[in-house]
Structure 1
Amino acid sequence: METGVAKELLNGIEDFEHVLAENADNHVIACIVAQTHIDIGWAWRGTACDDEIPLRNLEAFNAHFERAYDIIAPFIDRFPTSPLVVATHCAQVTGAGGKTHKIADQYERLIDLNQHNPRPMRAMGSHLLPRWFGSYDQLELEARRTAARTEHIWGAGGYTWVQFDAISNDDVACANLDLPFFIDGLRDILTRCPTPHTANLLAAYCANTMGQGVSENEQADHIRRQIADCTEWIVREHITELHPMIWAHAAHGFDNNLHIRSPQKFAASGRDDALRIMANLFKSEIAAGNSIVFTPEGPRAIAT
């Protein structure tokens, strides 16, 4: 490793490395330090295509991911059922040089350790896009395989979770979507996980993330409109309270690299979006002089 890259590798993380050196056999500390390297690596790289990233940034990205692997390698076989170790390894293999089959296999292991957690399913879908490490065929295959393996928990929802972020970021993936399967998954998710968080997440996703997306791909835009139309039944049947931060993130495509200067203003923007969309959904009730009140049974029109 060149001296300049080695210096940047340690910049800002020396204290973490010192703690790791003092606890070399502790897999929890190892994972924390490895994940820190992974986060710093992504901060160097960003989400642009390789040919748009300065060489210095790519070198730092690669160096941090190589260091992350060196840290967790001794624990991979020792703790094969540790969600923390598997998740850290999964995050590491999505770095430079990741291979489709390896990434899919790693995500499958992670998903199967806790099939109730949809986050690895969503991440796998994103990383199986052609711009990263996969293909459209691989994305569809893994979405269906995940749905089959998690059917006892999510019904058709496994398919929906894997496609969730992928189709919002890629027009071709969206155009290729099995729309009835996806919508069945939305319904199954809300039936099997009827929490306010989930209802807000899916409603905001349909209304903002997908509903506001426009492209030059007619089939993708048709799919987006059909998904956006799901907003009404999700809101009317499942929303019992508003979670503004979820709506704000949905408006920005759930971008993990988004810089938020003011959480209060960010949440306020989400609340404004949600209320604007709700007002449109309930415009006939509001025009009749009613107020919309959220109750444990869902939104209700109350005469004022």
Structure 2
Amino acid sequence: MPVLDNLTTLIRKARALHDAPHPNGPVLNIEALKATPKLTLPVKPSSEEEDLHHALFESGLYLARQDAWATLGERIRAADAARAMTPGGVPEAEILAEGARADAITAATRAVNAGDELGAVSIMNDMHLVLDETPGDHGVAYVVAMAHIDIGWAWRGEGWRQDIPAAHRAAFFRHFKSASDLIDRFDAFELDSPMLAAARCALLAAETRPRTRASDDYEDLIDLAPCMAKYMRALGNHMLPRWFGSYERLDHEARRTMERTADVWGRGGYSWTYLDALLVDDEAFALLDADLFCAGLRDILSRQTDQHTANVLAAYTGTALEPEGVNVEARARIADCFDWIVTDHLREVHPRVWYAAKGVWATRLDDQDRLTKGRQRASTALDRHARGLPPVTAPAARDTSGS
């Protein structure tokens, strides 16, 4: 099939784009004040991870625009069954589906912002027609279900429940109910489908008693795809009190996940589960075992050796966490990991990762601004590393004799 062959070639080219060195590309030159060698790291304005993500997204978008839904469903199901991931661990099936629904989400979001519920419904009615063309295809059903979830969140917004207009909340629940009806047609375990299990976890936000089933739903998901760190990170976030758990449940699930995924990640499951929770909730540090968390980071980087992951964890330990707050000692221990991550694992700088390290993607900055700010943030942190200074997240003075 020529279209499919061309798309496959595009993705292969994206994977290979950064295999060759870039001698004329930008670099960060960090020279210590002491008599130490210069640390030179190439800056990749577009990384292998980002290029492959873009190629997959565009593939899904292209096939949807060509109404090639049977081909699209087949590709999504194949990627899901193979547990195909980007180098940084993002499921390829989910990226293809994101591209496939992009046009519908853009149009529906405009309708939502205009308060036009009938317009949003009409767009989704058109999407449902593709289900008639591909009966029984859980790849296509997943695309439509996730479109409902995205539009539901567009209606709800990010405010507190009591601040959301009643009509918007009703639209949120209607879209989530439509998504749930679609997902309920399929059994994630019978179909060996992590993406269906992930959709079930995404639907927890509209459940009447999500706390009673959140742990079980995420256990099913992670058992289906223990290699995909994205799902452990989502589990940790959803175990926070603001969602479906408590700090005790967060720590319990982090330890339980570590034990269940030890053959894949060693102690890394503990770190993955805590990673995003620590970033968004200061109180999540209260029960953290910092030694176990840091050991988990070592296990992660010994197993997932791509530069995207190295950049994510370098930016996280070097810039993302506040130095003061609950459990200062644990924060300092995590900040200390920056040194060995840079020395042992970081070989190139991905500015977008450093820009996004503190969760600030939702801004009006254009991409060039993000690249510039990300490069500046990396340069500052790496300069301190070369000078033998603690990272910017570390307290100004602390006893490191036991480190």
**What TM-score, normalized by structure 2, do the two folds share?**
0.63
* Partner in structure 1 of residue 379 of structure 2: 275
* Partner in structure 2 of residue 132 of structure 1: 243
* Partner in structure 2 of residue 226 of structure 1: 333
- State the AA in 2 paired with 1:250: A
* Partner in structure 2 of residue 295 of structure 1: none
Q: Report matched runs for 1:24-35 at 5 Å.
A: 24-35=135-146
* Partner in structure 1 of residue 205 of structure 2: 94
**How many Å separate the matches in 2 of 1:252 and 1:84?**
24
Most deviating of 5-14 and 195-204:
5-14
**How many Å separate the matches in 2 of 1:260 and 1:35?**
25
Q: Decide which of 42, 65, 87 is 2:153's aligned counterpart.
A: 42
Q: Decide which of 132, 142, 146 is 2:253's aligned counterpart.
A: 142
* Partner in structure 1 of residue 23 of structure 2: none
1:229-270 Cα distance to aligned partner (Å, 9 max, x none): 2212211121111111111110326x6xx2555223212211
* Partner in structure 2 of residue 57 of structure 1: 168
- Unpaired segments of 5 or more residues in structure 2? 1-114, 390-403
1:269-291 Cα distance to aligned partner (Å, 9 max, x none): 11111011111111269xxxxxx
Report the identity percentage: 40
Asked if the contact 1:116–1:153 (Cα under 8 Å) also holds between the matched residues in 2, the reply is: yes
Assess, with a 3 A threshold, how the Cα gap between structure 1 residues 268 and 186 changes in structure 2: closer, same or farther. Answer: same
Asked if the contact 1:9–1:60 (Cα under 8 Å) also holds between the matched residues in 2, the reply is: no
- TM-fit CA distance, 1:51: 2.3
**What TM-score, normalized by structure 1, do the two folds share?**
0.82
Does the residue aligned with 2:208 lie in a helix, a strand or coil? coil
**How many Å separate the matches in 2 of 1:209 and 1:23?**
44
Does the residue aligned with 2:186 lie in a helix, a strand or coil? helix
* Partner in structure 1 of residue 345 of structure 2: 238
Q: Report matched runs for 1:118-267 at 5 Å.
A: 118-210=229-321, 213=322, 218-252=325-359, 258-259=362-363, 261-267=365-371
**How many Å separate the matches in 2 of 1:81 and 1:234?**
35
1:177-228 Cα distance to aligned partner (Å, 9 max, x none): 1111111111111112222111111011112221xx266xx43444323322
Does the residue aligned with 1:165 lie in a helix, a strand or coil? helix
**How many Å separate the matches in 1 of 2:158 and 2:210?**
18
Assess, with a 3 A threshold, how the Cα gap between structure 1 residues 96 and 46 changes in structure 2: closer, same or farther. Answer: farther
Most deviating of 128-137 and 95-104:
95-104
Does the residue aligned with 2:326 lie in a helix, a strand or coil? helix
1:28-55 Cα distance to aligned partner (Å, 9 max, x none): 1111000111112222223333223333
Asked if the contact 1:62–1:95 (Cα under 8 Å) also holds between the matched residues in 2, the reply is: yes
Report which structure shows greater RCO (CA 8 Å, sep ≥6): 2
1:36-79 Cα distance to aligned partner (Å, 9 max, x none): 11112222223333223333332222121111001121113684
Most deviating of 135-144 and 22-31:
22-31
Assess, with a 3 A threshold, how the Cα gap between structure 1 residues 229 and 12 changes in structure 2: closer, same or farther. Answer: farther
**How many Å separate the matches in 2 of 1:178 and 1:276?**
28
Most deviating of 86-95 and 172-181:
86-95
Q: CA RMSD in A?
A: 2.4
- Unpaired segments of 5 or more residues in structure 1? 286-304
